[in-house]
Amino acid sequence: TDITSFVAEVANKLDLKRDVQTTEADESNLGFKVGFKSLIGIGVDDKSSNQRVTERYTGTDDFSILEEVLFKTNTVLIVDDMENLSEKALPLRTRLAEIAKNMSDDAINYPNSYAKIVFVGIAATAEQLWEDVQSLKSRLATIKVPYLNNEESHEILANGWKHASLSSTPKQIEHATYISSGIGKVVHDIGQKTGYAAIDEKTLNIEDRHINQAIGDILDVNELDFESIFEKAKNRRKTKTRVRNYVLYVVANSDETGMTSQKILQTINKLRKNAEDLKLNSISPALSALKEMDVLTKDSRNKWSCVDPMFKAYVREHNSELVDPAEL
């Protein structure tokens, strides 16, 4: 996604059409363009006359026009998957941060204005936007969305497929619930994409391959990045780095939003069964290493969690590469 494709997609969603006008200078400056003005029209329904009318919005560029459209219409712009923007899309992220800041400043000119832009992403998304436009931090309200518990995820998937007349087994629902890692968006996407995969094959019976295809589609966006991070994080050949495998395995497979170092240690010792119990100082280097790799993060309550929730889902798909199932 870049600025051009983003503007085109938004214009399409809002039924906007572009009309660009240019103004030429007089004869003394023959051929020199002194300015331009972009005009965008949007069709709206006039309830009083039951007619289709056209509103026109002007501005110096597409984003200033978009700002006016958002303020003057009952529209909220939701920008999802912010965490998946590529390096090529950094100029777009900067422009989005700028329009958010500008709209906060300009809101005073519009009575009864309310939030018009919602950015959806991971915790790092807000920090990235703040870096792009530092003054945005005081203007951006961050809302932390809690993880779903297993029961909630299970119910969403089971009911969704049932209402779509799709049949599934308890084991399939459990697997989809497990991979979703309590991330609401992933629960929704797995349910939806699995259904599409089944319907594409003209069947109402969900097969394991339909779920696997859905999971693959969801993780495909970050597959190469996650694979690279995962390969660096895991190691089977050295004792110390095998401890790191256990640490990553435990954090990724926990249904809690965060785990203390002591809780991680206790869980590892339970997994290792007959092996000698590890001490806290045995896992501290592994935790520090995973933090330096930006794999894990520690919050103010001293609880550890995956930096990217989607990476947690990826790890769950590759558990056997961290810990041999025979050892568990």
11-20, 111-120, 214-223, range with greatest mean pLDDT:
214-223
Q: What is the pLDDT of residue 238?
A: 55
Q: How confident is the model at residue 208 (pLDDT cuts 50, 70, 90)?
A: very high
Is residue 46 a contact partner of residue 52, using CB atoms and an 8 Å limit?
Answer: yes
pLDDT(210) > 90: yes
Can you list the domains of the chain with their CATH numbers? 3-136 (no CATH), 150-220 (1.10.8), 223-327 (1.10.10.10)
Tens of pLDDT along 147-205? 888 999 999 999 999 999 999 999 999 999 999 988 888 899 999 999 999 999 999 99
The predicted pLDDT at position 54 comes to: 53
Average model confidence (pLDDT) across the chain: 82
Instruction: Kindly indicate the confidence band of residue 21, based on its pLDDT and cuts at 50, 70 and 90.
Output: low
Model confidence at 24: pLDDT above 60: no
Residue 73's pLDDT is: 81
Pairing of strands 117-119, 51-59: unpaired
- 253 in Cβ contact with 319 (< 8 Å): yes
Residue-wise pLDDT for 25-73, tens only, equals: 444 443 333 333 444 444 444 444 444 445 566 666 788 888 888 888 8
Q: Report pLDDT digits (tens) over 273-326.
A: 777 888 999 899 999 999 999 899 998 778 999 888 889 989 998 998 888 776
3-state SS track over the chain = CCHHHHHHHHHHHCCEEEEEEEEECCHHHCCCEEEEEEEEEEEEEECCCCEEEEEEEEECCHHHHHHHHHHHCCCCEEECCHHHCCHHHHHHHHHHHHHHHHHHHHHHHCCCCCCCEEECCCHHHHHHHHHHCHHHCCCCCCCCCCCCCHHHHHHHHHHHHHHCCCECCHHHHHHHHHHHCCCHHHHHHHHHHHHHHHHHCCCCECCHHHHHHHHHHHHHCCHHHHHHHHHHHCCCCCHHHHHHHHHHHHHHHCCCCCEEHHHHHHHHHHHCCCCCCCCHHHHHHHHHHHHHCCCEEECCCCEEEECCHHHHHHHHHCHHHCCCHHHC
pTM: 0.62
Query: pLDDT above 90 covers what percent of the chain?
Result: 31
User: What's the pLDDT at 45?
Assistant: 47
